[in-house]
């Protein structure tokens, strides 16, 4: 029995070897085609940004120029919106990190009666479509007079990423052995001391992931600041680049492409840094096996 299987298997491999090579070739061809298809739309942004005669058509630049970048480098178009983005998104990232650790530590370490329902609620909240609650949030902001406030917008952005932050952080803390903390508690350390001196250093990489995740998602968020802010000088880059598109989008392609590139590159760089630091394990979706 054993021998027949072995021979059958050996025979099959001999027979299928050429077809397997062909299959591999086909797979590579298909992958190459898909990669090209995925890349094509973005080519326009890269080419038009440095093309001296930009159009909507992606093509090799007639001659290279950085004029589009210098043209938009004004306080009103780029600097202030980017600064606003940094303030709101950076602030949201910091708030999410701090609140997540503080909330996740008791959830991970204490036997709390409400832990299970609370975690289910958090999990549910991570999937809640934010767009659907924006109208009520807007109504609430109007009533309490928080509309057009950078601080309130920052707080809302933090709240919107907090469920995922708590969830990630709780899983990270679960991965840290409790033995060290128990030893510290026996020696009379408080929960706060053990969190600060034992857990925090081990948690730092995980917390960086939470912070950068928040930064990347909020940086790209257009709808929230678009709804909650109204004065032009408070607009973050996400909204400013859109109004720029509305004003000049159909004429100044090069500048639009340059602005888009400028606004996109920081998040791409941050994402790449994180995924590299995590050795490929971190892919934002990688932890989502059902």
Partner 1 sequence: MGASGDLERGGGDLSRPRAERSGGPGRTWSRAARWAVPMGPALFLLLAFFAGPILWTVWASLTDAALTGARAARTDFVGVANFERLLTDVRFRDATILTALFLIGSVFGQTVLGLVLALLTRARHGAVRAAVGAIVVGAWVVPEVVAGFVWYAFLEREGTLNAVLGFLGAGEQNWLFTAPLLAVILANVWKGTAFSMMTYSAGLSEVPDDLEEAARVDGASPFQVLWHVVLPLLRRTLATTLLLITLQTVQVFTLIFVMTSGGPGARSTTLPLLMYQEALRMGDLGYGTAIALALLVVAGLFSIVYVRMLGKEERR
Residue ranges in 189-228 that form contacts with partner 1 under rule CB under 8 A: 191, 216, 219-223, 227
Spacing of C-alpha 251 from chain mean position: 31
Q: Residue 232: helix, strand or coil by DSSP?
A: helix
* Residue 12 beta carbon to partner 1: minimum distance, rounded to whole angstroms: 7
The span of 60-68, 69-77, 204-212, 257-265 binding partner 1 (CB under 8 A) equals 257-265
The tokens for 65 are 């120029």
CB neighbours of residue 202 within 10 Å: 15
Q: Which is nearer to partner 1, 87 or 267 (CB)?
A: 267
Q: Which is nearer to partner 1, 71 or 249 (CB)?
A: 249
Site for partner 1 in 43-72 (CB under 8 A): 43-45, 48, 55-59
Q: Is 28 in the site for partner 1 (CB under 8 A)?
A: yes
CB neighbours of residue 150 within 10 Å: 17
The span of 60-68, 70-78, 171-179, 200-208 binding partner 1 (CB under 8 A) equals 171-179
CB-based contacts of 241: which residues, under 8 Å, 6+ apart?
81, 256, 259, 260, 263
**Residue keyed to tokens 């109004």:** 243
Site for partner 1 in 150-169 (CB under 8 A): 155-156, 158-160, 162-164, 166-168
The tokens for 223 are 């709808």
Please compute, for residue 287, the number of CA atoms within 13 A of its CA located in the half-sphere on the CB side.
Answer: 13
Which position among 75, 120, 200, 233 is part of the footprint of partner 1 (CB under 8 A)?
A: 120
Q: Which is nearer to partner 1, 74 or 175 (CB)?
A: 175
Site for partner 1 in 76-115 (CB under 8 A): 95, 98-100, 102-103, 105-112, 115
**Helices 253-277, 200-219: crossing angle, 10 deg rounding:** 160
Q: Is 11 in the site for partner 1 (CB under 8 A)?
A: no
Site for partner 1 in 126-145 (CB under 8 A): 126-140, 142
Q: Which helix (H) or strand (E) holds 290?
A: none
């Amino acid at each position: 029995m054993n021998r027949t299987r072995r021979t059958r298997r050996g025979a099959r491999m001999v027979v299928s070897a050429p077809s397997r090579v062909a299959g591999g070739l086909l797979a590579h061809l298909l992958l190459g085609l898909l990669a090209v298809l995925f890349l094509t739309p973005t080519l326009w942004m890269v080419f038009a940004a440095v093309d001296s005669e930009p159009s909507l058509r992606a093509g090799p630049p007639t001659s290279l120029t950085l004029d589009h970048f210098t043209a938009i480098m004004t306080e009103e178009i780029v600097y202030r919106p980017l600064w606003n983005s940094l303030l709101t998104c950076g602030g949201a990232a910091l708030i999410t990190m701090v609140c997540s650790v503080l909330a996740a530590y008791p959830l991970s370490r204490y036997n709390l009666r409400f832990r299970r329902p609370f975690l289910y609620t958090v999990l549910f909240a991570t999937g809640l479509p934010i767009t659907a609650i924006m109208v009520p949030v807007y109504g609430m902001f109007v009533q309490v007079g928080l509309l057009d406030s950078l601080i309130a917008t920052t707080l809302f952005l933090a709240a919107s990423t907090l469920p995922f932050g708590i969830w990630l952080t709780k899983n990270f803390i679960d991965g840290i052995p409790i033995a060290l903390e128990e030893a510290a508690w026996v020696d009379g350390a408080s929960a706060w001391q053990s969190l600060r001196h034992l857990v925090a250093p081990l948690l730092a990489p995980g917390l960086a992931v939470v912070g950068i995740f928040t930064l990347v998602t909020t940086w790209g968020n257009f709808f929230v600041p678009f709804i909650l802010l109204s004065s032009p000088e408070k607009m973050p880059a996400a909204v400013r680049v859109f109004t720029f598109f509305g004003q000049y989008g159909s004429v100044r392609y090069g500048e639009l492409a340059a602005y888009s590139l400028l606004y996109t590159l920081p998040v791409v760089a941050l994402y790449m840094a994180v995924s590299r630091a995590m050795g490929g394990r971190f892919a934002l979706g990688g932890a989502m096996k059902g």
